Chains A and B, each alone.
Chain A
């Protein structure tokens, strides 16, 4: 049998699965899948020589024969019926609304082999659409849980029409077992629309999570994203956003709580394509002994994108000298009237603050825990949805309680 490292194994798997995938028998969908598989084959599996894969070892693709594994992610949807909100499974949407779906499904993330593989193999997913002017109050929660030794390619499409609003919560959990989840989320935010997007990656201890998110924001649109990463052995979150209209706004925030045996890599690429757009990015990591995390943020300011305002900040707390963190802010600026700021810090707990707390009677362990919690709380402030913030905080507290040598 061919090994996973061999592209042919994936092509074989694709050929045998394609008849069962959403859109099977529909020419346009088949064409997209063929083209995606070809793009994947041309690129080949990622290697650490690729800039984006510098900090994540793609060895997991060699260790397990993922190509031959079947899909094993359950998707649970929690959403109340609300006027203007339409949710279909990928299969239903492809069958019943081909015109609307085609353009979204055609969108590519160039140069990303795993995204092409996702598009070729996408077996499940949701298509969420909010009608013009409808502001959906209750969040839509998508829970993914992976089982056993499986490989799942999930493809969600989120479409917000003009002046609509929605909150989406994505959660990834899973059992032990080397399951690989390779999800893609394609988002389109029309003029004046707002999407709050929260994600908790809490996959199983042996899991691999490689996610791609591509977002386009039209004029006066707004996209707020918070990625909370705590699970998986190897996890990547690759987010690419294009600000395509005047006064488009982007907020990309994230937190990684990373312990021994884990590798978290949060990657963003922000493309300011036109004038008068703003982006604000802030990521934090709390790393225990032997943990490994990376934060890579690229900001592109196109020649016409005057008056761009782009901020980037990376802050990391190393709880042990054996933790490893890499931060890589990257700016590509072609316009001359822009404001771009970036900063990165990597450190241990603030000694002055520790002494201040101890001098007030707080024992060293409690003082350390308080400061770690503060570092996390401060980051969660970016989350506008209170129940999401509270849930994440409760989870983070349990995470801290479980750490030895805080």
Chain B
């Protein structure tokens, strides 16, 4: 589904990713772990197509297409979803309006008609309930005044509504208490299917207790230095990155 080859990415002229290789098959869940500054967030932003993340070499193929040729909104249209480490506050745009605009934009990209208001409302309420989100929050401006946990939950509601083919979740577990973590994990697990895949970017092994990955990779200084099964996460937790890398 996703094939990253020799990816080099620079931010502000500084090279952060230095030849990263990764391949993700449909139906699998991958976790990338690594210390601060290893390039975890850079990878997620580069995949989503953020402006200031300059790809200087390498290629990314997604569902047979050159992902790097696509604009960020086209990548989303193709089924890529980035769960933000720091979800952005947007005063003046209600969460509901944001979700509707987003879903319909993606549907239009795929040649589908806009979803009618009644069906949409039912869908959002159902997804929000499944993720324990208070329906009142849907009326509030996107992430404005939300706690850290509520923001992450909101990311999960967006993901549930958009039903991405590939979800890249950048430290979705950070700042969550154990109850919220379980809810978020349920949200991710609910989307697991043979057609979909997920890439979890995380600092800690904690999330992986609830979303059990098929593969774990260690990112260190801009490259994947080690890959393994779910037991690698435990080893990292125990011995630290330096020993494993």
Contact = CB atoms under 8 A, between A and B. Distances in A.
Report whether chain A binds chain B.
yes
Interface of A: 350-353, 355-364, 366-367, 370-371, 373-378
B102 interface: yes
Nearest to B97: A370
Nearest to A356: B88
Given A359-B72, A360-B98, A378 B158 contact: no
Contacts of A367: 73
Interface in B78-136: 81-82, 84, 87-93, 98, 101-103, 105-106, 109
Looking at chain B, what size class is its interface with the partner chain? 20 to 34
B105 A362 contact: yes
B160 to A, nearest CB: 13
Interface in B153-176: 158, 162
Q: 9 tightest A-B contacts by CB?
A: A374-B92, A378-B92, A361-B76, A361-B106, A360-B102, A358-B72, A356-B88, A361-B105, A377-B92
B50 interface: yes
A362 B73 contact: yes
A377 B144 CA distance: 14
Contacts of A373: 92-93
Contacts of A376: 92
A351 B162 contact: no
Contacts of B92: 373-378
B105 to A, nearest CB: 4
B25 interface: no
B213 interface: no
Given A351-B51, A353-B88, A370-B101, A358 B73 contact: yes
A151 B230 CA distance: 80
B90 A374 contact: yes
Contacts of A377: 92-93
B101 A356 contact: no
Contacts of A375: 91-92
B76 A371 contact: no
Which of A351, A370, A371, A373 has its CB near the most chain B CB atoms (within 10 A)? A370
Contacts of B109: 361
Contact of A356 (B49, B90, B106, B162): B90
Contact of A371 (B50, B71, B90): B90
Given A360-B102, A361-B105, A355 B50 contact: yes
Contact of A364 (B73, B84, B90, B91): B73
A257 to B, nearest CB: 15
B72 A353 contact: no
Contact of B76 (A358, A364, A378): A358
Contacts of A374: 90-93, 141
Interface centre among A352, A360, A374 (most CB of B within 10 A): A360
Nearest to A373: B92
B72 A355 contact: yes
A360 B76 contact: yes
Given A352-B88, A355-B72, A362 B102 contact: yes
A366 B105 contact: yes
Contacts of A370: 93, 101
30 contacts: A350-B88, A355-B48, A355-B50, A355-B88, A356-B84, A356-B90, A357-B102, A358-B49, A359-B49, A359-B73, A359-B75, A359-B81, A359-B82, A360-B98, A360-B102, A360-B106, A360-B158, A360-B162, A361-B73, A361-B76, A362-B101, A362-B105, A363-B73, A364-B73, A366-B105, A370-B93, A374-B93, A375-B92, A376-B92, A378-B92
Most buried by A among B50, B91, B103: B91
Interface hub of B77, B92, B101 (most chain A Cβ within 10 A): B92
A355 B102 contact: no
Most buried by A among B51, B77, B93, B106: B93
Interface in B44-60: 48-51
Nearest to B103: A361
A353 B50 contact: no
Nearest to B45: A355
Residue of B50, B87, B162 ringed by the most chain A CB atoms within 10 A: B50
B207 to A, nearest CB: 21
Contacts of A361: 73, 76-77, 102-103, 105-106, 109, 162
